[in-house]
Structure 1
Amino acid sequence: MAAFASDNYAPAHPAVLEALVAANEGHAVSYGEDRWTEHLAEVVRHHFGDHAVAYPVFNGTGANVVSLAAALPRWGSAIVTDVAHLHTDENGAPERVAGIKLLTVDAPDGKMHPESFGPYVLNLGDPHRPQPLAVSLTQSTELGTVYSVDEVRGLVDTAHAYGMRVHMDGSRLANAAAHLRLPLRALTTDLGIDVLSFGGTKNGLVLGEAVVVLNPEAVAGIEYVRKMSMQLASKMRYVSAQLVALLDPERDLWLANASASNARATRLREGVDALAAELARDGRTHDSGAPLLHIAYPTQANVVFPTLPRAVADAVRAEHPFYDWRPTAHPDLVESRWMCSWDTTDEDVDAFLASLRKAFG
């Protein structure tokens, strides 16, 4: 039974497991003074530029907190969207661990825009108000949308003009790069991103992400912040070896995995759209007149967000686990999240669509 709940549900890629086994030989110096971490440094420079420095960490929350804590002074706050993982799903870690106040902006499509900064930049220099000294954007977004190169450049240029640092939560950066058909550097370093949380767990790793410093002048003391945030691995070779397997330019597993999950989501979206059109042709609508099946956002990464009857969602969920995203204005309709992983197959998608059709009768 294939799950469509999260790309975290997926197993590790066999090549990643092979890399772990290969790293499990003899003794190696701890805390990053090993050849696997040294190799990771080379691979990261290949993808992100000569000044890029990688700091492996355990998880995405840790990567985000370490990135912002190193980019901000003690009095600094960070602007994020109202759907940002930092804001909704990290249990107050930025606030509790790093003392960072998050300033939210509305993002109906998952994206922030330069004009979003307006209400907060008026506070700059006022000691009574939180100081917006960093911006954190997510690529691809929590709603599966992807910022264009021009959109990111506009955000970065505006933020830098106000003296703010720019952090990118790239837990699914690989999916964005696959969608845009651009190298990782073109979405980050070349656009002026200062520090990046690069995701691995959602794209085939057992565990592990990396903080990638792209602008050394924009962050300070990250080695100390990583340690005090409990994100410094003693046996770092095991995290580094996985990241090397993912990013090795001779294989580009990061791109292959992300492209696969994106393709399955596109297949799923096409099937859902076809079914929604059939329901509409048959005159089947909600009592309010709303469609029985509807998708609000473009499918640009590896996730689909349908709105459908709760009873239908529950029937399909019994065979293919997934999560509800949020309620709608109608108590018997719900917006759900259907996510594809690197190992999702065409057959998995077709079986899911068959269950959906069956649930609609």
Structure 2
Amino acid sequence: MSNQWKGYTTKLLHEGHRPEPVTGALTQPIYQTSTFVFSDADQGAARFGGTEEGYMYSRLGNPTVDTLAERIAVLENGEMGLAFGSGMAAISHVMMALVKSGDHIIASDALYGCSFALFQSILSERFGVNVSFVDTSSVDKVEAAVRPETTVLYLETPANPTMKLSDIQALSRLAKAKNIKVLVDNTFMSPYLQRPLELGADVVIHSATKYIGGHGDVVGGLAVGPKELMSKIKRSFLKDLGGVMGPFDAFLLLRGLKTLTLRVERHCSNAMEVAEFLKGHPAVDQVYYPGLSDFPQYNLAKKQMHGFGGTLSFVVKGGLEKGRAVMNSVRLCQLAVSLGDVHTLIQHPASMTHAVIPKEERLKVGITDGLVRLSVGIEDVNDIIEDLDQALSKHA
């Protein structure tokens, strides 16, 4: 498919998509197989020897999974994509390919709890990689943290759950001048709203479980970057560490991609209305959403994002006790972790997704006991607001 289409939704539906050549099936078939038969022994030897292209074993490659990887590369405007069994598998495989003992990583100080644990408890404590958690909203603070052995700058923007932004373009310029690779977790935005590679990043990572899947029925991860690096990960780290995606999961994610733009637009419009409602509610102290005009980095959000996303956080007056009471009082919103689902999900980061982070570290980056994260779904927005209003008013 030629790169002739200008509209992003058209590109999403058509580029990287081909009807199945034997039957003409429009929808990608599910190649639910563990292994592939060779025509003869010479072909098997040639494929394992790397002199002939083709499939051998689904841990080494699968047509359904490869189609998803091709599609995400198109949507992120990158050279090559890879699919993994989860978002954390994507992060860990890419990091293993880029760092070694003695190297130094700079990471956003406000990170998803499992990403923090990967860097702190595994890469740092077990494998000798030095990690500095830095306020990446400040280019000066990042520059001050750079060492001669710094190899990776890892950004989560918007940050989970504080929504703090990092200037991808400015930080990428800084990193390139110092030969540092920039990785961006783009889960909160999806490729529709933010494309970090176009802003200078080297690798973009997604928990495809979230907006890309969108229906709460699949776990997966995706990464897009330079062909040389992605090929190295596929033939070595993905093959030997084995964090692969299954073909049925890839099929579900391919299905989810077809409605990505429609869903995300609804998530965004709903989230904006919910954020404005929460901002005016007497039981709420603070609302963190990049689309609010008084958000500290509103201008940066408008510059590097094509929309403000469907996730926000807010602080309930009364701290942990009141926050828990509100979450226990919702009727429509679902008390569950994850985000990007068609359903509205509400959760408490300090005791759930970010519980692994020491309290003093959480408080430094604004993850207080009263902070509630809300992934706004695609229900009728008045129903979402009505549910939040009754839960908040009950405990105001």
Residue 139 (1) aligns with residue 167 (2): no
Partner of 2:70: 42
Partner of 1:105: 134
Partner of 1:357: 393
2:207 to 195, 199, 203: 199
Residue 354 of structure 1, CA deviation: 1.6
After superposition, where does 1:176-191 map in structure 2 within 5 Å?
A: 177-178=192-193, 184=194, 187-191=195-199
- TM-score in terms of structure 1 length: 0.70
Residue 41 of structure 1, CA deviation: 3.9
> Which secondary structure state, in structure 1, belongs to the residue aligned with residue 329 of structure 2?
coil
After superposition, where does 1:16-95 map in structure 2 within 5 Å?
A: 23=30, 29=36, 30-31=58-59, 33-49=61-77, 52-85=79-112, 88-90=116-118, 92-95=121-124
What letter matches 2:144 in structure 1? P
Query: Structure 1 residues 133 and 154, CA, compared in 2 at 3 Å: closer, same or farther?
Result: same
Residue 167 of structure 1, CA deviation: 0.6
**Which whole-Å deviations, capped at 9, do the CAs of 1:173-227 have from their partners, x for residues lacking one?**
31x843xxxxx5xx22222211121221122251111122x22355673121223
1:264 to 270, 281, 287: 270
Partner of 1:303: 312
Q: % of aligned pairs identical? A: 15
Distance 2:133 2:105 in 1: 8
Distance 2:35 2:82 in 1: 18
**Greater Cα offset, 82-91 or 20-29:** 20-29
Query: Structure 1 residues 20 and 238, CA, compared in 2 at 3 Å: closer, same or farther?
Result: farther
Residue 314 (1) aligns with residue 324 (2): yes
2:371 to 336, 340, 345: 336
Partner of 2:183: 167
Q: Which structure is higher in RCO with an 8 Å CA cutoff and minimum separation 6? A: 1
Distance 1:219 1:308 in 2: 46
Query: Structure 1 residues 44 and 104, CA, compared in 2 at 3 Å: closer, same or farther?
Result: same
Partner of 1:242: 252
Query: Structure 1 residues 343 and 98, CA, compared in 2 at 3 Å: closer, same or farther?
Result: farther
Residue 267 of structure 1, CA deviation: 2.5
Residue 273 (1) aligns with residue 279 (2): yes
Q: Contact 1:84–1:138 at 8 Å: present in 2 too?
A: yes
> Which secondary structure state, in structure 2, belongs to the residue aligned with residue 143 of structure 1?
coil
> Which secondary structure state, in structure 2, belongs to the residue aligned with residue 244 of structure 1?
helix
Query: Structure 1 residues 338 and 216, CA, compared in 2 at 3 Å: closer, same or farther?
Result: same
Q: Contact 1:41–1:54 at 8 Å: present in 2 too?
A: yes
Query: Structure 1 residues 357 and 62, CA, compared in 2 at 3 Å: closer, same or farther?
Result: same
What letter matches 1:339 in structure 2? L
Residue 26 of structure 1, CA deviation: 7.4
- TM-score in terms of structure 2 length: 0.64
2:348 to 321, 324, 334: 324
**Greater Cα offset, 192-201 or 309-318:** 309-318
Distance 1:193 1:173 in 2: 15
Residue 52 of structure 1, CA deviation: 2.1
Q: Contact 2:88–2:115 at 8 Å: present in 1 too?
A: no
Q: Contact 2:186–2:196 at 8 Å: present in 1 too?
A: no
Alignment size in residue pairs:
295
Q: Contact 2:30–2:248 at 8 Å: present in 1 too?
A: yes
**Which structure 2 segments of 5+ residues have no match?**
1-25, 37-57, 291-307, 336-345, 351-358
Partner of 2:51: none
Partner of 2:285: 294
Distance 1:22 1:220 in 2: 24
What letter matches 2:395 in structure 1? A
Query: Structure 1 residues 69 and 99, CA, compared in 2 at 3 Å: closer, same or farther?
Result: farther
Distance 2:59 2:172 in 1: 33
> Which secondary structure state, in structure 1, belongs to the residue aligned with residue 218 of structure 2?
coil
Distance 2:126 2:237 in 1: 11
**Which whole-Å deviations, capped at 9, do the CAs of 1:12-58 have from their partners, x for residues lacking one?**
xxxxxxx9996276787423543323422432342133x52222111
**Which structure 1 segments of 5+ residues have no match?**
1-18, 125-130, 179-183, 277-291
What letter matches 2:390 in structure 1? A
> Which secondary structure state, in structure 2, belongs to the residue aligned with residue 355 of structure 1?
helix
> Which secondary structure state, in structure 1, belongs to the residue aligned with residue 243 of structure 2?
coil
Distance 1:168 1:304 in 2: 21
Partner of 2:221: 209
Distance 2:385 2:317 in 1: 18
Residue 318 of structure 1, CA deviation: 1.6
